[in-house]
Amino acid sequence: MRLNLREFFTKEGNFIVVAIVVTTFLLIGSYFYLKNTSQSIQKAKEDDLQTVAELKIDQIVLWHKERTADSEVLSKSRLFIKGVFDWLKNKNDKLLLKNILESLTTFKNEFGYETIMLTTKEGEILLSLDNKRINDELTFKNIKAASVTRKITFTDFYYCTEEKKIHYDIIIPLIINSENLIAIVVFRVDPNKFLFPLIQKWPTPSKTAETLILRREGDNVLYLNELRHQKNTALQLQIPLSRSNLPAVQALSGKIGIVNGIDYRDNEVLAYVSPIPGTRWFIVAKVNSEEVFAELRVRAYFTAGFTFILILSLVSGLAWIYSRRQRDIYRALYNTQEEFITTLHSIGDAVITTDIKGYVRFLNPVAQLLTGWTFTDAKNKPLEIVFKIINEETRDTVTNPVSKIIKDGLIVGLANHTLLISKNGKEIPIADSGAPIKDKNGNIIGVVLVFRDQTEERLNHKLLNARLELLQYSISHSLSELLTKTLDDVCELTESKIGFYHLVEEDQENLKLQAWSSKTKEEFCKAEGEGLHYKISEAGVWVDCMSEKKAVIHNDYASLPHKKGLPEGHAEVIRECVVPIIVNNKVVAIIGIGNKPNCYVEKDIEIAEYFGTAAWEIAEKKRIDEEYYEAQRKFRSTVNNLKGFVYRCRNDHDWTMEYLSDSIENITGYKVSDFINNKVRSYNSIIHVDDQKKIWENIQKAIVIKEPYVLEYRIITSKNDVRWVWERGRGVFEKDKLIALEGFIDDVTEEKIAIESLQVNELKLRSLVENSINLFYSHDTKHVLHYLSPQVKEILGYEIDEALVKWTDLASDHPINKIGFEKTVKAIETGIAQGTYELELVHKSGSKVWVEVREAPLVENGKTVLIVGSLTDITERKNVEVKLQNSEERLRILTEKTGTIVYDRDLRTNVVHRGGAIEDVLGYSSEEYNQTSVEEFFNLLHLDDRERILLFEEELTKKGGNFNVQYRVKHKNGKYIHIEDCGIGITDNNGKITRVLGSMKDIT
């Protein structure tokens, strides 16, 4: 088989056939790859558009629901509506006005409204938080519509010609007692503050992508928000619905999902369209088709280039196979020569040999690398030309060692701090030794110099010193300055022009650009971002070191296919070396350097990692120290700002204090230093004598069971005042041995006084309740009684315990009791007292007892928890009412049957109550006549009788007594009838006429 292949590739024609076939397959594969890529890119962009649009729809719907919730809270606030109602009745009440404004201001500030206005149902401004007025007809129309529907109304976006801006209003009717509309509240939203920016923001970088909201306006589509690529379009730009290829028109026609079309700039676009639930709006998320397929063009170029390279490689490979037979001939010879060279060059150090005159005879590869001279160029050259050395400190030329070796015949070593100057001028620190080469007779025939590169040793020394310098530097400098110096040192040692240091956050998903090197900031990079947090997924190709957890080197950055580009102002990147700093298998930081004149190598990684790790360890220690000091500061601040004071003391009879917070001086009047180690006084010395023994005993009991202790006792202050304090503490144990007591003490004098006062008031209240003529009670929401006052014995004949058990049996079957029960249920449900009502109860003896009930709900967290009330015995009053009703009924029958009108006129209020045969005598119904005032009745008198009646009334009000007078009055049918009016003037205790009682009879 091998022989056949060798023969096959000896013919040039066979090479051409193979090249054509393989090239054809590569071209076909590239075509299908690009086709699949095109479909993938379009599908990904469609998914992005749908995701963005649905996200914004959710945000808009949520925003709309939140505004609805705001409006419902206000419209159901009984306290606010009652305040507005009372203020409308008395607009001079400044307290009510202040409460209303404070409520509206709270809504404005909390929920970000532009302004809030209170108007009448006709739209007249009553209050406005910014003194604005409503001048546009649309708002008036919406307010009047909301007044009719009595529902919360959301206007759409509209342009205010007076303010020259777009508004969005929420109109809230204020209804009291479930039926009376008293006013309108208008929440005004500035869509430019939240809604429009929300719509306009695109989550990923894009030159053409944008989001639009729109609605139908007649036969046009109206754009509601400001467009990205065309200014002054909000509520201004309208496009006819006849443009069916416009995504906006397709949205209004009912389409939902991905569409293709032409946008308002006549650009081909890919778009996602959908209605926005709960609104008249539609959303369009679009991007230019040219931008969608820009990536495809890049991939096409890349694929073409890659295919070309593959074809070129194929041709080269075939050519290599073709020439292989010729190379095989020379391979054996080459291997033999390679073995010989390897043997000569196997020494690890650099080796140069010279003849007796100091001319170079041989350089091994290491010597060639260090000197920069090739063996061919260096051969027969004087050693001083090839091996040029100077003193590192003085920069003086060092004498060539060959002469000394030949003269003395001894091994010679170079002094410390020797630098080799290579052919290209590079300075390399070396350690050198030379020895004579002797023949078999011991004659010196030349010199061999053996030297090695000390760069690594010097570097390690520098690294150690640099670490110590960083540690010293961190003491007096900030974290940012420390990292900048770290980068400066790394850049100096690696000859890099730019450097950066990122900290990786705990979630391993976000970065923080903590520092740039000094030279980066001053000369190369003007981009914003120092201290900026951003996601690792958004970073460039250098962040590959995170996922791989190892350093990455890009010595040809421009050729990287997956680079993301650089932000504006960023330094140009030619090559870069990025190293992750790993602690406990987690990346905690990233250090990067770039734009070294030549390629980055493994040594650069080691330097960067060394400095990056050192900086992180120093920074971490600095952070821990700062957190510790800050925690100590906060603890001291918290302790010293407590109302009470914190202590640590010994368990002795003096309560010897080891630590006290500063607040003790506020309570006792003594300084902290007075108590520490009983310097001036012991803490026990200020405890009231009567409480000292009790305190000692209670604390000792708590120590035995290792439980906290809580005490209340009296102390004597520096002003000789007696103060009550509350103390909570516990023993501190170390291996079951008590070493101290720690706790907190607070002044509770005011609380003690308040409790004692409350107890006194409770006794007074109980006395008042138990000595009242009313019966007091309370029951829960399930009508289970919890309390009855002693009056139950006097009013119903039961003992308290007996009544608590039989309470449900005390009500009679009178229908009025059902009304009372319904009011109690409503009070429980609403948390609002329902006013007084009457009940008919059954006395223990069986007799009926009428009571008047007053009760109110107790509400906690918006829920009724208890009903409290009182019962007043009104049995006697009810009996009198029944008798009075019987008397009034007899009087009504008597007057109606005798054709007489009776009246009672109060001269103090001029109010008249009339009854009897009103309709029979004057033709008016009782309701009509009782609505007639004294003045209106006077106008019914005949003109000829009016002056006489006026004089009669003046005489009556002065003298009183019985009277009888006749006059003519107009009947409802328009005719005058003759009336006989007789009665009496009633006087008060001062003899003044206050009432007139009388009767009127038709004597026509």
Task: Give pLDDT tens digits for 873-919.
Answer: 888 877 776 776 666 566 666 666 667 888 888 877 777 888 778 88
Determine whether 176 is exposed, middle or buried from the number of CB atoms within 10 Å of its CB (0-12, 13-18, 19+). Answer: middle
Residues 6+ apart with CB under 8 A from 33: 303
pLDDT at 699 over 80: yes
Main-chain phi, psi angles of 75, to 5 degrees: -70, -20
CA distance 802 to 50: 73
The CATH homologous superfamily to which domain 641-753 belongs is: PAS domain (3.30.450.20)
Among 340, 204, 348, 193, residue whose Cα is nearest residue 285: 204
In this structure, of 516-520, 531-535, 546-550, 568-572, the range with the lowest mean pLDDT score is 531-535
Among 66, 284, 228, 43, residue whose Cα is nearest residue 154: 66
In this structure, of 5-9, 155-159, 697-701, the range with the lowest mean pLDDT score is 5-9
pLDDT at 661 over 90: no
Fill in the DSSP letter of residue 515.
E
Report in angstroms the alpha-carbon separations of 165 from 119, 216, 780, 975.
Answer: 21, 21, 56, 69
Among 202, 220, 171, 189, residue whose Cα is nearest residue 71: 171
For residues 595-605, b (16+ Cβ closer than 10 Å) or e, as one string? bbeeebeeebb
Among 250, 257, 282, 260, residue whose Cα is nearest residue 272: 257
Higher pLDDT, residue 174 or 13: 174
CA 379 to chain centre: 77
pLDDT on residue 1: 42
Mean pLDDT comparison of 38-52, 605-619, 757-771, highest-scoring range: 605-619
Among 369, 373, 395, residue whose Cα is nearest residue 384: 373
pLDDT at 587 over 50: yes
Among 708, 716, 703, residue whose Cα is nearest residue 650: 703
Fill in the DSSP letter of residue 520.
I
CA distance 725 to 750: 10
Helix spans in 266-293 (H): 289-292
Which H/E stretch holds residue 870?
A: strand 863-873
Do residues 942 and 967 make contact, with C-beta atoms less than 8 angstroms apart? Answer: yes
pLDDT for 460-506, tens place per residue? 777 777 777 777 777 777 778 878 888 888 888 888 888 888 888 87
Instruction: Work out the number of other CB atoms within 10 angstroms of the CB of residue 755.
Output: 11
**DSSP E strands: which ranges in 398-508?**
412-413, 418-421, 427-438, 444-453, 498-504
CA distance 910 to 995: 9
Do residues 430 and 452 make contact, with C-beta atoms less than 8 angstroms apart? Answer: yes
According to CATH, the topology of domain 882-1002 is: Beta-Lactamase (3.30.450)
For residues 614-644, b (16+ Cβ closer than 10 Å) or e, as one string? bbbbbbeebeeeeeeeeeeeeeeeebeeeeb
According to CATH, the topology of domain 459-619 is: Beta-Lactamase (3.30.450)
| The Cα angle at residue 635 between residues 683 and 617, in degrees rounded to 5 | 140
Query: How does residue 700 score in pLDDT terms, banded at 50, 70 and 90?
Result: very high
pLDDT on residue 564: 66
The SS3 assignment for 713 reads strand
CA distance 210 to 49: 10
Do residues 553 and 600 make contact, with C-beta atoms less than 8 angstroms apart? Answer: yes
Rounded to the nearest integer, the mean pLDDT of the chain is: 82
Query: How does residue 329 score in pLDDT terms, banded at 50, 70 and 90?
Result: very low
Please give the structure tokens belonging to residue 904.
Answer: 């009672």
User: What does CATH list as the number for 76-189?
Assistant: 3.30.450.20
Report in angstroms the alpha-carbon separations of 965 from 122, 184, 929, 938.
Answer: 54, 57, 21, 14
Residues 6+ apart with CB under 8 A from 651: 699, 703, 731, 738, 740, 741
pLDDT on residue 337: 52
pLDDT on residue 2: 47
CA distance 926 to 972: 13
The residues pairing with 186 across neighbouring beta strands, listed in sequence order, are 117, 171
One fold for 349-453 and 772-873: yes
Tokens 């007084």 sit on residue: 836
**Per-residue DSSP letters for 627-641?**
HHHHHHHHHHHHHHT
pLDDT on residue 945: 87
pLDDT for 952-1001, tens place per residue? 888 888 887 888 888 899 888 888 999 888 888 888 777 788 888 888 88
Instruction: Write the single-letter amino acid at 376.
Output: T
Which H/E stretch holds residue 959?
A: helix 943-959
Query: How does residue 767 score in pLDDT terms, banded at 50, 70 and 90?
Result: confident
pLDDT at 379 over 60: yes
Tokens 């144990």 sit on residue: 733
Instruction: Work out the number of other CB atoms within 10 angstroms of the CB of residue 678.
Output: 17
% residues pLDDT > 70 (the chain): 90
pLDDT on residue 619: 78
pLDDT on residue 4: 56
- The structural domains of the chain, with segments of one domain joined by +, span 76-189, 349-453, 459-619, 641-753, 772-873, 882-1002
The residues pairing with 265 across neighbouring beta strands, listed in sequence order, are none
The SS3 assignment for 188 reads strand
pLDDT for 729-746, tens place per residue? 999 999 889 999 999 999
For the 772-873 domain, the top CATH level (class) is alpha beta
pLDDT at 783 over 90: no
Please give the structure tokens belonging to residue 754.
Answer: 């308040």
Do residues 373 and 385 make contact, with C-beta atoms less than 8 angstroms apart? Answer: no
Strand 412-413 with 125-128, pairing:
unpaired
For the 349-453 domain, the top CATH level (class) is alpha beta
pLDDT for 976-989, tens place per residue? 999 888 888 888 77
